[in-house]
A and B are shown apart, each in its own frame.
Chain A
């Protein structure tokens, strides 16, 4: 039996006919939309490489059935920059060497963006490490990742202060 669903992906509405309900959001993004920035690491919810934002919240797309998320608003790594202007978190990862091989990086960046929106960690490195523990980095670039998130958080705080001033 076919199922029709529609999603908003990086701001654009996309309609799909699913001939198999087993398709995860991760596989839908990669195989149907060719948005391969979202990585398939463990495919079991343990590594965080597949992190995306669904309705503004970071989740593991490998453990989400696409069919169950009919109507959802999805943001992937391909949707965070504005043209050539990198998202502040992307720029901070480059500035602070927040990666080595880069495989986990899209998930790390999406997770960091989600974490900053959750506003639980602030600029406390210990809280940032705890709140980013769902993203593994086999290269061990954690020190750079925490520095990048701290930097980006600082920039966001400055921007919001300027806007509220």
Chain B
């Protein structure tokens, strides 16, 4: 690991000033960053430790019915918050399907959003990677790429964003609160992560010194609580990143879908909101045919980036099944294997 300076600011303003320097990065739990630093993938000159800042670890309901989640709330504390899990069950299920219990206890909300891709070539400093080193090339393109992107990728980069948490969040129109050199601002989570284009090294809309201080769910996000699921196919049952995942949330009124929300994980460099698929479902009965049509629309633009054509068909099926599960209703208690298609209590119906 490269030597670095360690800074522990007392206030958010101090943190922003300290992190605006070239070579500086924020340290929260470090569950991803330390791993990257040990491998020589990230080589920061300065760590700005935000874990001791006050006021960033609260979950609060705002007057308008929004929920505001501080950036330092741990993944486990959020998922196990009873009110949170009841109001946003797909988000809790996604959180509990990610990583291990130890990592969820440490990892933070803000850190989860900004975790890096798990592309093996990104992680291997001996490989060419445009994301790690701009202009160096992409060894994933002709390498082991069965897990890589099928949507939004470019010739420069076919990596995926690995977060589970972000998938239902983006479906529920989550908003990211950012403190930066110019003060406080907010953007839609959907605008936070960038597609690679010809500059995959630029991964987000954040500028130097920007600190995510909170994630907010707007009042409408609660409206899906009774019909919301997250479904995640993994290479092993637990403690694995998604091959493909989907969040599905429905608002059903008088036997018709008043509103649908669909997002996909493991398919692109960002959590992938499928708005065209949502439009298919508006005003129609929640039937298998409608779900098939929506799934088809969600993957219309998909194309393989390597040995991963199977992910397109898999993603269609996962969308159908997530919608089917959502329509059946959110279970009173999360299944023993959260988000797993193999969960014995998922009530899963084969699509």
Binding-face segment, B1-9, B203-211, B298-306, B310-318: B1-9
B63 lies within 8 A of chain A by Cβ: no
Say whether A22 contacts B1, CB under 8 Å. Answer: yes
With A68-B27, A134-B239 as contacts: A24 and B34 at CB distance below 8 Å? yes
With A118-B80, A126-B336, A126-B344 as contacts: A22 and B101 at CB distance below 8 Å? no
A18 to chain B, nearest CB (A): 9
**Which A residues are in CB contact (< 8 Å) with B100?**
48, 133-135
User: What's the dominant secondary structure at chain A's contact region?
Assistant: mixed
Say whether A134 contacts B51, CB under 8 Å. Answer: no
**Which A residues are in CB contact (< 8 Å) with B52?**
70
**Bound Cα distance from A59 to B105, whole angstroms:** 6
B121 to chain A, nearest CB (A): 17
**Bound Cα distance from A134 to B80, whole angstroms:** 18
The 8 A CB mask of A94-127 against B (1 = contact, 0 = none) is 0000000000000000010011001010001011
**Which B residues are in CB contact (< 8 Å) with A44?**
35, 38-39
Say whether A57 contacts B105, CB under 8 Å. Answer: yes
The 8 A CB mask of A38-76 against B (1 = contact, 0 = none) is 000001110010010000011110111101101000000
Closest to A136 in B: B239
**Which A residues are in CB contact (< 8 Å) with B80?**
118, 120
Interface size class of A (residues with CB under 8 A): 35 or more
Say whether B27 contacts A63, CB under 8 Å. Answer: no
**Bound Cα distance from A24 to B35, whole angstroms:** 11
How many of chain B's residues have a CB under 8 angstroms from any CB in A? 34
Say whether A21 contacts B102, CB under 8 Å. Answer: no
**Bound Cα distance from A144 to B1, whole angstroms:** 38
A87 lies within 8 A of chain B by Cβ: no
B120 lies within 8 A of chain A by Cβ: no
Say whether B106 contacts A134, CB under 8 Å. Answer: no
A131 lies within 8 A of chain B by Cβ: yes
Say whether B6 contacts A59, CB under 8 Å. Answer: no
Closest to B33 in A: A63
B278 lies within 8 A of chain A by Cβ: no
Query: Which B residues between 272 and 289 are near A, CB-CB below 8 angstroms?
Result: none
A13 lies within 8 A of chain B by Cβ: no
A84 lies within 8 A of chain B by Cβ: no
**Which A residues are in CB contact (< 8 Å) with B30?**
63-65, 68
A123 to chain B, nearest CB (A): 12
The 10 closest A-B pairs by CB, nearest first: A134-B100, A133-B238, A21-B6, A126-B336, A133-B239, A57-B105, A127-B336, A59-B106, A134-B102, A60-B102
Q: List 16 A-B contacts (CB under 8 A).
A: A3-B6, A21-B5, A21-B6, A45-B102, A45-B103, A65-B47, A114-B101, A115-B101, A118-B101, A124-B336, A126-B336, A129-B238, A130-B337, A133-B100, A134-B99, A134-B239
Interface residues in chain A, defined as those with a beta carbon under 8 Å from any beta carbon in chain B: 1, 3, 20-22, 24, 43-45, 48, 51, 57-60, 62-65, 67-68, 70, 111, 114-115, 118, 120, 124, 126-127, 129-135
Task: Apart from A44-B35, A63-B34, A129-B238, list 8 A-B contacts with CB within 8 A.
Answer: A3-B6, A21-B5, A22-B1, A57-B106, A62-B34, A111-B102, A126-B336, A130-B238
